[in-house]
Amino acid sequence: MLKKDFSLLFKNRCLILLCVFALLFSALAATLFRMQIFCYEEYQQKVLEQITVGSSLKADRGNIYDRNGNLLASSKTTWRIYISPVDIRAAIKKRGEGVAEIIAKGLSDILSKDYDAIYKKTQNFYRLDETIAKNVDKDTADRVLRFAMDNELTSMIHTEATTSRYYDQGSLAAQVIGFTGGDNQGLFGLELFYNEYLSGTDGQYITAKDAAGRDLPSGYASYVPATDGYDLTTTLDLYIQKQLELVLADAAEDAGAVNRVSGIVMDVNTGGILAMATLPTYDLNAPYQLDEASLSVLASYTEGTEEYKNKKSELLYQMWNNKAITETYEPGSTFKIVTSAMGLEEGVISPTSPFHCSGAFTVGGVIIHCHKRTGHGSLNFAQGLQQSCNPVFMQVGARVGATSFYDYVEKFGYLNKTGIDLPSETGSIFHKLENIHEVELATASFGQRFNVSMIQQITAVAAVANGGQAVVPHLMSSISKSDGQILLSYTTKTGEQIVSKETCATISSILEAGVSQGGGAKNAYVCGYQIAAKTGTSEKLNGKRIGSCVAYAPANDPKIAVIIMVDEPTCPVIYGSVVAAPYVSDLMETVLPYLGHAPSYTEEEKELLEIEIGDLVGMSRAEAEKKIRSLGISFEYGDEGGGDTITAQVPAAGVKVTKSGGKVILFTGGNQKTSTAVPNVLGMNAAAANAAILNAGLNVRIEGAKNYKLEEGATVVAVSHAAGESLPIGSVVTLTFRHMDADE
């Protein structure tokens, strides 16, 4: 009985076990069926991921151009040098010791790299790829390949073509263009803002490898080509950018600017930025190299310390920072252009509206002074704008009223960022409407006690210049493929009509007269052109000053606007009329003809033109005298006796002199008169300086304020030759004039 029960129990257990195995087998079969039929691609990919190795194929970053097709940024081919320690291990087993040493010695000599560091990488025997050097030029890469071939090391030493960013203009427009990082990604400026378009998409080449890194016989390979980035054409103009940076360099040096200088040139009708710069600048091809001023600051810190590292980072970011859009300042009297537009548009003033300035004006019990403490006396509004009279503008602001004033501030774009296509644009700091009381309204009317950015200020002034239309500043003109196919073009975006064309024309006329006929911006004068300009000086919290000038031209049909700002000038006269306006003039003088605007000279201006003396040597006396008279200048002989042929002349052929008062000294081989000493004219007014130079028998060449006779006359601030220096009679002495009175 017991035996029978045991047999039954055994059978039942076997049956149960059989069922369990059947269920497990069914589950396994189902899983295999699912994996092989329904999930084949998924698991195939997982297998491939285990046995395949991918090599990245770098995409070329798109080029950046100025508006005329000049290259600003491009991608150039460089090479990465790398070794394969897996293959080095195999070679050591086959060829014996010494392979790693040969590789380390050869590469260290060619690449100027540390021998020990390279040798250490050769010992990472289970790695397929160890980078030895990046961004190597073609000649060096070729030397590496020759070394590998000569020593039968081609399976262990490799080169890989990559792309690196190259900035064709060096430091030009550095803060605007920006630069890229180690992975070719944009870090600053346009490179960062348009990174999505410029960067492209990397490709990949995939091959199957075994655990030792050898190719598998399966022949599996996959190739995904790289898609190059798109090209960016900007509104920048290479020539105008160069000219802007040249005048900013002069302004920085002459003013002794402590906290940098900055400038912008804008197309007033489209908002396109033709030039934008901050100095000191930096080399885009070496962005981590500090400028000399920064290095001198860093020299006071101990290298290697935390303080040194922090200061260096601070100085680098300051150098990379685009001051024109990332910092704010009090616009000062340049804002009076906007207040003028408010008052004229609201009809609370006209150009002839009478005012009186005693030197101060009391608002809400607070005495607020004019820059001219003795007062301007009785004057009309037009004169108030030209002479930059604060009491006049405090009264205009009061007539406009706080609510309307605030509305216009918003319409002119001061309460919002401009939307320029650059990263890190900052906003303004302005009063809330409910906080604008009598005193706040008074100070705001002449541009103080609030902060704006330079890009906001020039954009607002551009609206006045173009007839009252708000514009959006921008740098992108188009985005295209490398074959020229345009994918995206900028369409000019204009906002509302802020003020009427009549209001704008009136302001332009007043400002132009303030330049050409006497006013705070007369240093912005350009011979042969109508310039509308306004200067300003504001005080910072640290007690230092900011001098600026904003201008547009031609005043009767404006095309471009310019703003130059000098932060913390240390020269004797720190007003915007002296530290900024002359450089606006220099810029306009070169840019306007370049843009196709021909000068139109008055009769007085024709006398200011320079005459180039031709070659008179070899001519007869009669021929030379006739030639000189045709130039409209005088002459005399510098020797006694002699023959009938001109043997020498002063100034020499090709030298330019000012037509008014110009004189040529001719020589015919006789006994020459003695030379003459340069008189001391530094600090003299124009009339006295000119007379002194001419009376000494010398010629005058004028730089700086070409309207040097205006009002009391400009002052000589620089002379090309030292006082007392002996020069041949007739030599040219260059005088630099500035109007030193500050009406702002």
Mean pLDDT of 180-193: 92
Please provide the DSSP assignment of 654-696 as one string.
T-EEESTT-EEEEE-SSEEPP-EEPP--TT-BHHHHHHHHHHT
Sign (positive/negative) of CA torsion 399, 403, 405, 407?
negative
First and final C-alpha spacing in the chain: 126
Coil, strand, or helix at residue 192? helix
Q: Are residues 38 and 126 located together in one domain of the fold?
A: no
What the block records as the tokens of 686 is 């124009």
The count of structural domains within the chain is 4
Q: Are residues 93 and 119 located together in one domain of the fold?
A: yes
* Tens-place pLDDT, residues 34-64: 666 666 666 555 554 554 555 556 778 999 9
Residue 358 has pLDDT above 80, yes or no: yes
Q: Are residues 542 and 691 located together in one domain of the fold?
A: no
What the block records as the tokens of 272 is 């396109």
Alpha helices (runs of H) in 377-517, residue ranges in sequence order: 381-386, 390-400, 402-411, 438-445, 454-465, 501-516
Mean pLDDT of 13-22: 73
Q: Over the chain, what is the mean pLDDT? A: 89
- Asked if residue 276 belongs to a domain, the reply is no
Task: Give, as one character, the DSSP assignment of residue 436.
Answer: -
Which of 233, 268, 289 is a domain's end point?
A: 233
d(Cα 309, Cα 312) in Å, to the nearest integer? 5
Mean pLDDT of 463-468: 97
* Tens-place pLDDT, residues 143-168: 999 999 999 898 899 988 777 889 99
d(Cα 389, Cα 743) in Å, to the nearest integer? 8
- Asked if residue 397 belongs to a domain, the reply is yes
Query: pLDDT at position 2, please?
Result: 46
Distances (CA, A) of 182 to 157, 185, 402, 418, 472: 23, 7, 52, 31, 33
* Tens-place pLDDT, residues 75-84: 887 888 999 9
Mean pLDDT of 187-213: 77
Query: pLDDT at position 484, please?
Result: 87
Domain that holds residue 642: 607-738
- Given a contact cutoff of 8 angstroms between Cβ atoms, the answer to whether 534 and 333 are in contact is yes
Radius of gyration of the chain (CA): 37
Query: pLDDT at position 202, please?
Result: 74
d(Cα 15, Cα 184) in Å, to the nearest integer? 69
* Tens-place pLDDT, residues 274-320: 999 999 999 999 999 998 889 999 999 999 899 999 999 999 999 99
Please provide the DSSP assignment of 229-254 as one string.
PPEEEES--HHHHHHHHHHHHHHHHH
The rounded percent of the chain whose pLDDT value lies above 70 is: 91
Q: Are residues 345 and 464 located together in one domain of the fold?
A: yes
User: HSE (CB half, 13 Å, CA atoms) of 686?
Assistant: 22
* Tens-place pLDDT, residues 599-641: 999 888 887 788 888 899 999 999 999 999 888 888 888 887 7
Which of 233, 266, 297 is a domain's end point?
A: 233
Q: Are residues 30 and 152 located together in one domain of the fold?
A: no
Query: pLDDT at position 211, please?
Result: 52
Least Cα distance to 715 among 690, 673, 681, 684 occurs for 684
Q: Are residues 222 and 98 located together in one domain of the fold?
A: yes
Residue with tokens 């607002």: 460
d(Cα 26, Cα 36) in Å, to the nearest integer? 15
Q: Are residues 48 and 24 located together in one domain of the fold?
A: yes
- Asked if residue 64 belongs to a domain, the reply is yes
State the angle between helix axes of 99-111 and 115-122 in degrees (0 to 180), rounded to the nearest 10: 140
Here the CATH number for the domain that contains residue 363 is 3.40.710.10
Residue 697 has pLDDT above 90, yes or no: no
- Asked if residue 277 belongs to a domain, the reply is no
* Tens-place pLDDT, residues 229-281: 999 999 999 999 999 999 999 999 999 999 999 999 999 999 999 999 999 99
Q: Are residues 511 and 637 located together in one domain of the fold?
A: no
- Given a contact cutoff of 8 angstroms between Cβ atoms, the answer to whether 326 and 424 are in contact is yes
Mean pLDDT of 430-447: 97
What the block records as the tokens of 25 is 């087998």
Residue with tokens 């230092």: 544
Phi, psi of 531 (to 5 degrees): -115, 130
Here the CATH number for the domain that contains residue 158 is 3.90.1310.10
- Asked if residue 405 belongs to a domain, the reply is yes
Residue 431 has pLDDT above 90, yes or no: yes
d(Cα 27, Cα 481) in Å, to the nearest integer? 55
Mean pLDDT of 213-232: 67
Q: Are residues 575 and 659 located together in one domain of the fold?
A: no
Which of 233, 262, 289 is a domain's end point?
A: 233
- Given a contact cutoff of 8 angstroms between Cβ atoms, the answer to whether 549 and 235 are in contact is no
What the block records as the tokens of 343 is 């008052």
Q: Are residues 82 and 47 located together in one domain of the fold?
A: no
Task: Give, as one character, the DSSP assignment of residue 147.
Answer: H
Task: Give, as one character, the DSSP assignment of residue 435.
Answer: G
* Tens-place pLDDT, residues 86-110: 999 888 888 877 889 999 999 999 9
- Asked if residue 148 belongs to a domain, the reply is yes
Please provide the DSSP assignment of 526-580 as one string.
-TTS--EEEEEEEE-TTS-EEEEEEEEESTTS--EEEEEEEES--SS---HHHHT
Whole-model pTM over 0.75: yes
Sign (positive/negative) of CA torsion 727, 730, 734, 737?
positive
- Asked if residue 705 belongs to a domain, the reply is yes
Query: pLDDT at position 7, please?
Result: 67
Q: Are residues 525 and 574 located together in one domain of the fold?
A: yes
- Asked if residue 3 belongs to a domain, the reply is no
Burial of 609 (0-12, 13-18, 19+ CB in 10 A): middle
Instruction: Count Cβ neighbours within 10 Å for each residue of 549-568 and write b for 16 or more, e otherwise.
Output: bbbbbbbeebbbbbbbbbbb
User: Which residues face 514 on adjacent strands?
Assistant: none
Q: Are residues 80 and 223 located together in one domain of the fold?
A: yes
d(Cα 577, Cα 715) in Å, to the nearest integer? 13
Residue 720 has pLDDT above 60, yes or no: yes
